[in-house]
Each structure stands twice: as structure tokens, then as C-alpha cells.
Amino acid sequence: MIIVTGGAGFIGSNIVQGLNARGITDILVVDDLTDGRKCLNLADAHIRDYADKDDFLRRIQAGEDFGPVEAVFHEGACSSTTEWDGKFVMDVNYAYTKVLLAWCVARKIPLIYASSASVYGMGPVFSEAREHERPLNMYAYSKFLFDCHLRPQLGTLPTQVVGLRYFNVYGPREQHKGSMASVAYHFNTQLHESGRVRLFDGSDGYGPGEQRRDFIHVDDVVAVNLWFLDNPQVSGIFNLGTGRAQSFNEVARAAIAWHGKGDLDYIPFPDQLKGRYQSFTEADMSALRAAGCEHAFMPVEIGVPKYMAWLAQRT
């Protein structure tokens, strides 16, 4: 069996699909379906069982044996960067992951978990070292602190443990995220509604829409997660982006090109984001490459049209 926490969410449900594509259906999905719309991410998936995240936590704290478990993909978290209830975020993201780590280590079960590029704050260096990490919100801090908890243990653990610092992920099965969905998703919606894409005006020395992020298609994220499943000898904390920053304008133009129509509008940069906005991110991918992962990543010119086509099939 493989356990996927956050398995009804964006990245988790895509990992389930990736496992299904390999013929793997002996999957336990763990999630919180208070927002029942997330079940739609699993409607075309094949899984063995489902468990509520709080019930699952109680069961592993009690030392329950789930039978043979090949690996745990831990994607469950409070991912809102605007959530400032620190107790809630630390309980859900930090404390939960520590319990899961201890449970996996005691049973020698590989654990592949979602960290975040948000740990780097404003950058400007995005490589996996403490001196480059300065989280700017509770979500980022909770991810950062677990990475710090893990670091001293790496090299001494009896099983694989991998933290993946996701950069700007976009792609299928994120519609439930609302305002936290990717810009590619929002650009598609805006093109349908008005035929115009809205981008921020210039900031931090960048021209209108020229702020740059490392945008990565979720299919590439799944491919790297499954690479680690295939390579249990590799542990560590790794960036997961494309290694190439691209502008919001490039994402918007890729969406417009797929739709065959549309134009750009630039809106004033929000005051509340000044000093808290990543105007540039670009993953240093040297650690992942040194680990032996040679996966080729899609640029937005390929990934965004692929995503637009997927969305078009479901509207």
C-alpha cells in the first residue's frame, strides 16, 4: 500500500493519478473533506481507502499498523500564505509532520513530503542552505522549521526521507484552491470572462508583468516524486522547480496564444504586498541533478497550453 496525505488536494490527487498510471491502486488517501468539492479530484481515480486527516493522526499516534506500506507521500498541509493563526498552522503543518516522520522511521517506511520554496522569502538565492532561508509568513515558517528538524537526522535515518521545495506549481486539479490557485488558472478564467488578463504593474525594479517566477507544471512535480519512489537510496531536501525563471507576461501570452484571443491589462501593485512579494524566484536545481534525477521540465510555452487544453475538456 502507498499512503498519500492531502490526496484529494492539488498535488496529492495528481500523485494518485501518477500512481494509477503505473497500475498502482492500493492507495490510502488521507485528507480533510470539509470542503467536499475536493472529492471531484478523486472522482476518476482508483484508490483502496480514505481516512480523515485527524483520524489518521490519532491512529498513527496510537502506533497502529496499516500492514505493509511501500511509501508515504505527505502532501497534506494548510497551504494558505495569508493564514496568520500560528497555532493552527504549526499544529497542521509542523507537529503533524513530526509525528508522521517518527511513525515512518520506526517502521522503515520511505517518506516523501512537501516542503516549499516560500522558505527562501525574498531570496535572492534559492539553494538548499540555511543561510538562504528567511520565511515571511506562517506557512513558510512551518515548512522551514520542519526542514530544520529533519536536517540533523539526515544520514542517520534507517529509511528514505525526502523534502521537496515546490516552486510555483500549476496544472490540473487545483480549481478548489480559489484565490490560492495558480496564475495560469486565473488567467484562463479571466480570458473566458472578459477576454483580458490582469497582471500587476511593475515592482522591485521589474516592469509591468515582468516579475519572474519558477513556474512548474504539476506533471513534472509528480514525475520527480515518483523518481524518488524508484530511488529509495536517495534522501535529502531538494528544490523542485524548472531551474528557469519566466515572467508573468510569458504565462499570460501562452494562455492567450492557446485561446487565440485576449489582451493584457496592468493593475496597480497592491500596497499590502509591498515588501512581502517574491518578484523573482528561480530554483537552484544542482542538488537534484547531483542526486541523479535527469527529468526534463516543461517551459510555460508547453505547460500552459497543456493545462488550458485540460481545463477546456472540463468546462
pLDDT digits (tens, 9 = 90+) for 54-106: 999 999 999 998 999 999 999 999 777 777 888 988 988 999 999 999 999 99
Percent of the chain with pLDDT over 90: 87
Whole-structure pTM value? 0.95
Residues 203, 276: contact at Cβ < 8 Å?
A: no
pLDDT at 278: 84
Does residue 80 or residue 25 have the better pLDDT?
Answer: 25
Separation between Cα atoms, residue 94 and residue 288, nearest integer Å: 24
Separation between Cα atoms, residue 53 and residue 309, nearest integer Å: 33
Q: What is the mean pLDDT of residues 14-41?
A: 97
3-state DSSP call for residue 17?
A: helix
Strands 71-74 and 49-52: unpaired
Separation between Cα atoms, residue 16 and residue 4, nearest integer Å: 7
Give the chain's mean pLDDT: 95
Catalytic sites, residue numbers: 139, 177
pLDDT tens by residue, 140-197: 999 999 999 999 999 999 999 999 999 999 999 999 998 889 999 999 999 999 999 9
Q: At what angle do helices 248-259 and 183-193 cross, to 10 degrees?
A: 40
Does residue 202 or residue 29 have the better pLDDT?
Answer: 29
pLDDT tens by residue, 233-271: 999 999 999 999 999 999 999 999 999 999 999 999 998
Residue 61: its H or E element:
helix 53-61
Backbone φ and ψ of 147, nearest 5°:
-60, -40
Strand partners, 247: 212
pLDDT at 315: 67
Residue 266: its H or E element:
strand 263-267
Number of Cβ atoms within 10 Å of the Cβ of 80: 16
Separation between Cα atoms, residue 234 and residue 232, nearest integer Å: 5
Residues 12, 164: contact at Cβ < 8 Å?
A: no
pLDDT at 82: 74
Q: In the structure, what pLDDT confidence band is assigned to residue 6 with cuts at 50, 70 and 90?
A: very high
pLDDT at 28: 98
Separation between Cα atoms, residue 164 and residue 178, nearest integer Å: 23
Q: Residue 203: what residue type?
A: S
pLDDT at 143: 97
**How long a stretch of residues is the chain?**
315
Number of Cβ atoms within 10 Å of the Cβ of 177: 16
Q: Is 287 exposed, middle or buried (0-12, 13-18, 19+ CB in 10 A)?
A: middle
Q: What is the mean pLDDT of residues 219-231?
A: 98
Q: In the structure, what pLDDT confidence band is assigned to residue 204 with cuts at 50, 70 and 90?
A: confident
Percent of the chain with pLDDT over 70: 100
For 52, residues 6+ apart whose C-beta sits below 8 A from its C-beta are 30, 31, 32, 33
Residues 94, 145: contact at Cβ < 8 Å?
A: yes
Domain 2-168+218-243+281-297: what homologous superfamily?
NAD(P)-binding Rossmann-like Domain (3.40.50.720)
